[in-house]
Structure formats: C-alpha cells, structure tokens
Chain A
C-alpha cells in the first residue's frame, strides 16, 4: 500500500480515533466511515461517531509470511473484531498471551505504529487491539 502523506493525513480520524459512521435511520454502525448507508441509501442519516474501544474476536490468524513493511512484526496476529456496537474491524492483536487469542476473546483498542516506513517515508500509526483478561 502506498502511504503518501496526504492519504495518511486523511485517514487520521479513522486510524487514530476509530471514527466511523452511524445511520440514525436503521441504527446500524459502520466502520470505516461511509457516505451512503447500504441499508437505507438516500433515506439513511449518517453521522460521524467514535467507535467503542472494546469488542470480541470473531476470527483470527497468525501471519508468518508478511507483506512489505511488516517484516519486523512477523509472525503477528490478525483478527476480525466485532465492536460493541456491532461494527467490525480488521486489526492486529498485540501484547497478548497467544493462548488467550481465540474466537470470543474480549479485546480493547491500543495505539501503535503500524508499518515500517516505506518509499514515501511516512511512518504510519493507528489502532491495534489487545486481549483483556
């Protein structure tokens, strides 16, 4: 992925604060933010909200062959997390006992560096999650 500075800046609210959308018509939360509610389309009323910082793992994997920018991290855990408002997010799981990384485990958001600087020199930061006891 090409992490140019403008792209990185545009994504600050989502990556730093886990900001997404909430549709006041159908009461569904979405992450990341979107312009149109897929349920209600033009009848939808989307507002920007900060997502809850906790959720649970609904699937996970341990990545052994990393893409560019993640060599120092590998092997690392990735998971799909269902947040408390029902929105889902893919994230790394860090600072956790591997035994406790399983489907159903409760997790909370932490703030970390994401990848090693690429050819654009941008250092990217954002959310990761850790298992809570």
Chain B
C-alpha cells in the first residue's frame, strides 16, 4: 500500500507574540485539510510532533488537545516526541499507520511555542534532548555539543569557519524567497564571521533561532487517493535510526551515524541512490550540521561537505539544492514542527508550488530530521504521485 501526502499547511515561522500554541496548530491543520479538499470528518487519526511543551508552556497531553481544538474528537490523537526530530517521527508514525492498513486518511501535525520564556529557560528545555546526567551536568549546551562535532570535522578534514558560514549565507538567501520564513535578511560571510562566539568555533549566526510555528499534512492510502481523485506526493520511504544521547559515547565525531543508517535504509527501500535526489531539506540546527548531513546522506564524500557548500554546490541553482526553504537556520526552528515543515516544503517543491524558490525539474526530494545531537534521525524520500 503506497502512502500519499494529499494536503499540506504551514503557519508563518516567527516570534508569534499574539498567537498561542493551540492557535498555531489549528491554523496549520486547517490549511492542510483545505489544501487536500477533504473534510475533517474523513480524518481517522492524528499524530502530532511536539518536543517540549511541558517546559515551554506548561502543557502536556498535546495529542488530545489538538483533536479537541480541531473539533475532531473522538478520533485517536497521539503525541510523538523525539526532541527536534518529533515532527519527523510523527510523520513516519502516520505513514506506518497507513502502511499497516489500519487507517486510510491520517493527519500529521508539528508544533512548538518557544517564545513565552527567556532564552535561558528555552535553552534548558532544549537541553533535554541531550544526556542531562552525563553531559549537560558538566556545562554542555547544544551549541557546544555541535561545536565539538565541528572541531573534530575541522581537524580531520580541514573544514573552515568560512565554509560553515557559507551555509548560513546560502540559507538566508533561500529564505528571502520564502514568505513563511522567520528571517528575510541577506547576510554575508563577514556578518557570520564577525558575530560573537557562542561555543567556539560556532558563532551566533551559525545557529538556528528560537521560533514559534506549526505545520501539518494530510496522508492518504493510495487506494483512497485514487478513489477520491486526490493529487499529491508519494512517500517512497521513511526510515529512522537511533544512537547514544551522550555525544561522548559515539563511535565517531565526524558523522551522525543515525543519519547515515537511516539514509541507507531509505535509499534501499525507495530503490534509488543519493544521486537520484533532486533537492533535500536537511536538519541545519547549526551550520556544521548541514555539512555533516550532506556527507552522511551521501550527496558528497565524507570531508567534502564544507568545500561543496563554499563552492555553491548546494545553492538553489547548484548541483543539489539543499534547504530551498531557508532551512532551520533562516526559515526558523520551532523544534517539534520542524520535521513536518520539511515535509511541507518537499510537498510544495514536488507539486511545483514553491514559487520563487522552486527547484527546477524537482522529481524526487528528501527530508532529514535530527533529534538532539544525532540520537534520532529520520530520513524520508518523496516523489510526485501519479494515480
């Protein structure tokens, strides 16, 4: 049974001072349902990605909250949590629900409301993605964990801070073309290089921001899509892998093994190779994360991701456009929403709806969503659905 995305919706990613958690997810979900042409009562189940609502807004039990706010009681509604990969895991879980034959139309949501608290309190909430007792206890922060990965990559392959900066510059340039992006501001290599160190070699402009936002999708079985004459994007594969929460327990500091394994399995299941991918939305929570991703996903050889980024091979008109949406860096990173937002971008690109940021001849796309510093990775591959 093939699985098809038949609708997609997203809110603007921003600091939404005037919108609540529930308003954000309802807005995205209604857009997704409307774009599918279906009615709410045709939805059989909901899977929602959300990382840290307990810490961020004092609210748990998000699954039932979403069903209630959408007026979709009493259908089952389940929250999925895997830190920043919560959205990707929700998407994959919904995909499995249809694959299993149990459901034929399912909604997927992702949401995070992050700006109610101070940056310090948000950092503490996000720290939950790492190993609290073993690493955060000693003064590690998320930027510092990625800084340790960056330093190891620089040492092994000669990757430079300028190469990392080029990732931020490219993603800001793409976000200029995305009306839903948090930042519409062109930046230069000098801007990044002159920004303050957060954890050396990572600087402020190497980091993704704190964002409010939500995204949603409607998934249908192939049979249902055909029966109802729905257009959309087929999910060719969605694979997930796990690794140690503690960065110090990893076998290697120059790759995210969970990404590599999930990608290998996804390519195998889809029956394609990395060179068949026309564009990808990857998890660039920090610029080094995009460099690791384009290597671990097999687009470039290990160690060559920095140079490829610097040479423009990942720009909108490059060999393989990476993060046409602007990525986490410039589109914004409402953590639980990110994995779903990536799938929304894949849908837009493959349906030819991406307007000024449209990747030419986009036939096959990939999304890559990471939890924490790589303890969870989800890789999903998409293709235009021909009924």
Contact = CB atoms under 8 A, between A and B. Distances in A.
Interface of A: 1, 3, 7, 11, 30-32, 58-70, 73, 76, 78-81, 88-92, 103, 114-115, 124, 126
A65 B139 contact: no
Contacts of A1: 127, 132-133, 136-137
Chain B interface, >50% SS class? helix
A66 B139 contact: yes
A62 B199 contact: yes
Contact of B253 (A59, A92, A124): A59
A58 B252 CA distance: 10
A110 to B, nearest CB: 13
18 contacts: A1-B132, A1-B133, A11-B133, A58-B152, A61-B151, A62-B199, A63-B147, A66-B141, A67-B124, A78-B138, A78-B139, A80-B247, A80-B248, A81-B248, A90-B134, A90-B138, A103-B151, A115-B139
B248 A89 contact: yes
Interface string B147-180: 1111110010000000000000000000000000
Contact of A124 (B134, B137, B147): B137
B139 A76 contact: yes
B198 to A, nearest CB: 5
Interface string B129-145: 00011111111110110
Given A11-B133, A68-B124, 18 more contacts: A1-B137, A3-B137, A58-B253, A59-B155, A61-B202, A62-B200, A63-B199, A65-B199, A67-B127, A73-B139, A76-B139, A78-B139, A78-B148, A80-B248, A80-B253, A90-B148, A90-B248, A126-B138
A64 B200 contact: yes
Contact of A59 (B123, B151, B246, B249): B151
A17 to B, nearest CB: 15
A88 B248 contact: yes
> Which 7 residue pairs of A and B lie closest in terms of their CB atoms, listed nearest first?
A61-B147, A59-B152, A90-B248, A62-B200, A59-B148, A88-B248, A70-B139
Nearest to A102: B155
Given A1-B136, A78-B138, A115-B139, A61 B144 contact: yes
Contact of B197 (A62, A69, A91): A62
Contacts of B202: 61
Max count, chain A CB within 10 A of own CB: residue among B132, B148, B196, B253: B148
Contacts of B127: 1, 67
Contacts of B149: 59
A117 B202 CA distance: 28
A103 B155 contact: yes
A63 B133 contact: no
A32 to B, nearest CB: 6
A90 B249 CA distance: 9
B139 A92 contact: yes
Contacts of B18: none
B154 to A, nearest CB: 9
B152 A63 contact: no
Nearest to B250: A88
A60 B151 contact: yes
A64 B127 CA distance: 16
A78 to B, nearest CB: 6
B100 interface: no
A90 to B, nearest CB: 4
Nearest to B202: A61
A83 to B, nearest CB: 10
Interface in B218-276: 246-249, 253
A90 B150 CA distance: 15
Nearest to A32: B134
B262 to A, nearest CB: 18
A90 B141 contact: no
B361 interface: no
Contacts of A90: 134-135, 138, 140, 148, 246-248
Nearest to B148: A59
A115 to B, nearest CB: 7
A76 B144 CA distance: 11
B141 to A, nearest CB: 5
A86 to B, nearest CB: 11
Contacts of B137: 1, 3, 114-115, 124, 126
Nearest to B131: A90
A31 B271 CA distance: 39
A67 B199 CA distance: 12
A7 B134 CA distance: 12
A56 to B, nearest CB: 13
Q: Pick from B127, B137, B196, B246 the residue with the most CB of A within 10 Å.
A: B137
